Each structure stands twice: as C-alpha cells, then as structure tokens.
Chains A and B, each alone.
Chain A
Amino acid sequence: MSAMRISLIFVMALVTIAVVLGWQSVKARSAKNAPATVNVNIDNFSFGPATVTVPVGTRLTWINRDDMPHTVVSVNGAFKSKVLDTNDKFSFTFSKPGTFEYYCSVHPKMTGKVAVQ
C-alpha cells in the first residue's frame, strides 16, 4: 500500500471516529435534557415511592391504584388535584427546582415529597 493511501485511510478513520464521538456527545446531551416521565403509585393509603428525586422538567404522574379515593395536594400551593377515584391519574410538570411536600387532603396522614434538582 502506498504511503498516500495509508494516510488517506488514517485520516478517514480519524474523521469517522470524530463524527461518531461527536454524535454520541450530542445524543448524550439531548438525553440529559429530554423531559422524563415518572410515575408515583397511590395504594394502601400511601404514595409509592414516598420520596422521589427528579430533574427539572420532569412530568410526574400519580396513579390511584387504591380502592379508596385520594387527592394530591402540595403544601406550598404549587399543585392540587381533584379527587382521584381508582385508576384516575393526575400529572404535574416540575419546571422549577425545589422541594415539594404534598399530602392527600382526604387522608392527611398520607404524605410524600418530590425533590426537583
């Protein structure tokens, strides 16, 4: 193989690696920024998981799997669901960081927390 051809192959390999690395980096950046969806189950008079930590932009969905109605009400007034019967859902997108304590206004011993980072 001539020196020129070897150089050409070498350069093409470098370019390919650069392109692949660049593409991976773009992909990684957009995966990190893409809004995630997270579910919290309501069952047996409790929120599960009771504490979740999520990135800013996450859309949280509470699903009532219990045989009694519940609500999802934040202590600081950020969100408040209507009453949720079995299989009803409530969603809220956390666009700001912070700690959001919430509870069920019908059964106030049921409490939960969302930490948004």
Chain B
Amino acid sequence: MPNNSQEQLLHDHNHDGIDRRGFLKCMAWAGTGALCVMQGGVLKSLSLSALPSKSAPPPSGELTFVQISDSHMGFNKAANPDVVGTLQAAIHKINALSSPPEFLLHTGDITHLSRPEEFDTVDQILKSAVTKDVFFVPGEHDVLNDDGKQYLDRYRKQPDGPAWYSFDKKGVHFIALVNVLNLKAGGLGTLGAEQLDWLKRDLQHRSRSTPIVVFAHIPLWSVYPEWGWGTEDSAQALSYLKGFGSVTVLNGHIHQTMQKVEGNVTFRTAASTAFPQPQPGKADSPGPMKVPAEQLRSVLGITDVNYIKGHHALAVTDSSLA
C-alpha cells in the first residue's frame, strides 16, 4: 500500500492516452519496487518485492541497464549522514535484479564537492556492482573549482576530447550530454553551440528507427526554471531528435522521479541515492529535504530500463531502496 512518502514519487505528466488510473497505481507501487512494463502500449505490472527467481524472470528484452544518479559522495548533513551506505544499498538492489544490467548510467553529481577522495570512493563502491561497465555524465557538483578538469581526466572517453560522447549497445544509440559547464548568472543548464553542433552531426545519418537514449544531468525539459531545473538550449537539441521513433531522455539533478511524454520523446528523471529534494515550489529552495530516518530509503532509488526490440517505448522502472 503506498504511504505518504511514496506519494512524493507520483508526478504524472503523461498525456499519451494510457489509462491514468492504471498508470498512477503502478507508479504508486514503484516506491516499494514494482516493475511496470510497457510493451506495445500495454501496461503490465509485477511486484518486485518478492524478487522473482531466475526461473521466472519478468519480461525483459534485448538490453537491460540501470540509471543511478546524484550519489553526492562527501555529503554528510542531516538529510543523509551516510551517503556511502545508501549508494551501497543501491548497488545491492542492482545486484539483486533478476535480469542483471549490462551497464550502468550515472547521471551526475557523483561527488558533492569534486574532491578526489569522493570520486575514489564512488569508483570503489561501483566495483562491487554486477556490471563494471559504467557511463558517466557530470553534475554541477563534479566540476567545482577546476572547470571539470578532474572529472574529465577520470572519465573522458578520449584524452583532450570533449566531455560529451555517444555509443551503441545492441542497436540502441546512447548520447551523453553535458549541461553543467559554463553556467551563466541567472541561467539554467546549458549545452552550448559546440556540443549542439556535434549532436546534430551525430544524429544526421542515423536511421530514424534507431532507438535513442539521451542522458544528461540537468533535465532537458523545463521542470521548474525558478530553481534552475531546466536547460536553456535544450529545444535545439530536441529539434535534432524529431523524426526518431523512440527517444528516451534520462536526467538527474532534481532528486525525485518525474516523467513527461512529448510526442515521440519520453523524459524521465531519477531519484538520488543520497537525499531527496522537495517537489517544485513546495519549499523555499531546492535544498536537501529531511525525512524521518525510517523513510529515507523509500525516497532514494534506482531506475531499471529494458529495451524490447520492436517496441516503441523503453520499459522503465523506478524502485526505491526501501
């Protein structure tokens, strides 16, 4: 039964005609770990709480991966004095999935203060994950003091190359965008002309039936600009994605799950593994939100993604650490 803290996870901005009551019910279970699988527009749900055995796995497809976000290694204030423990709990959750993910996406704010020991600790904890393949994008907390030099030295794909990149897995094209560098006063996240130009060229000759997954730290849709929850030049990026049959955008930064569907694009934000933040406008500022200790893990989480070939939308499940 959903309790009050799990209702905080319910932000349904879905306007694609799916039965709202059915979908909302499924989302309510997401806090305790329900697998909501959309296959060809039909919503199926299964409870994850019993962790189905390998002999009866839930529907999975050709590709499974997990998104984690906002581990804020180094944070130690009241909202969560043990971000190491909660990140480890997230890895345990990943390792317990009956379909092991092929890789992980970390959508940024890996560290809290961009300190080397914070990066080291996260790398150490990730070593215990069932998959060693991890793709990162930086959050604004990862590029403090040095314009991201440390982040780039650790995670950049090509030495002296840009922070953004793309790769392919089983026919799905993944695009890692960076929108936390060169932030201007009073502004939102920003991609910049050079990255937008690269994105345009990256997509230009791809078949429109290629499923695309874009991941970046700050949301690429306008969640709540007053709190900086948006990206100034994302409209241009999205214009390059028009015409592709299946586009999924995965973001972090806001420390709560949200979903929005616009035509062929599904936008989703992930929970943090460190601490929750308030819903848009429900507090003075987007800072760490304290919840009773026994509720903390129910508002932190991971996102499990399944790609089933031939299906329009990826099957995406948010589960809490409770």
Q: Which residues in window 184-205 of B have CB below 8 A to A?
A: 184-188
Evaluate contact between A82 and B145: CB separation under 8 angstroms: yes
Evaluate contact between A45 and B287: CB separation under 8 angstroms: yes
Evaluate contact between B186 and A44: CB separation under 8 angstroms: no
- Is A69 interfacial (CB 8 A cutoff)? yes
What is the minimal beta-carbon distance from A110 to any residue of chain B, in angstroms? Answer: 9
What is the minimal beta-carbon distance from B181 to any residue of chain A, in angstroms? Answer: 10
Evaluate contact between A107 and B228: CB separation under 8 angstroms: yes
Q: Which residue of B lies closest to A81 (CB)?
A: B145
- Is B120 interfacial (CB 8 A cutoff)? no
* Residue from A68, A85, A109 within 8 A of B288 (CB atoms): A68
A-B pairs with beta carbons under 8 A, tally: 57
Evaluate contact between B145 and A68: CB separation under 8 angstroms: no
- Give the bracket for the number of chain B residues in contact with chain A: 20 to 34
Evaluate contact between B185 and A68: CB separation under 8 angstroms: no
- Is A71 interfacial (CB 8 A cutoff)? yes
Q: Which residue of A lies closest to B79 (CB)?
A: A67
- A85, B288: Cα distance in complex, Å: 14
* Residue from A102, A107, A108 within 8 A of B184 (CB atoms): A108
Evaluate contact between B183 and A108: CB separation under 8 angstroms: yes
- A111, B183: Cα distance in complex, Å: 12
Evaluate contact between B287 and A83: CB separation under 8 angstroms: no
Q: Which residue of B lies closest to A69 (CB)?
A: B113
> If A69-B141, A69-B144 touch, does A111 touch B288 (CB 8 Å cutoff)?
no
Residues of B within 8 A of A68 (CB): 287-288
Evaluate contact between A108 and B186: CB separation under 8 angstroms: yes
- Is B92 interfacial (CB 8 A cutoff)? no
Report which A residues bind B (CB closer than 8 A).
44-46, 66-69, 71, 73, 75, 82-83, 85-86, 101-103, 105-109, 111
Report which B residues bind A (CB closer than 8 A).
77-79, 112-114, 140-141, 144-145, 183-188, 226-228, 284-288
Known contacts A45-B286, A69-B113, A108-B185; can you find 13 more A-B pairs with CB under 8 A?
A: A69-B141, A83-B113, A103-B185, A106-B140, A106-B141, A106-B144, A108-B183, A108-B186, A108-B187, A108-B188, A108-B228, A109-B187, A109-B188
Could you show 13 A-B contacts with beta carbons less than 8 Å apart? A44-B285, A44-B287, A45-B286, A46-B285, A69-B112, A71-B144, A82-B145, A85-B113, A103-B186, A105-B183, A106-B144, A108-B183, A109-B187
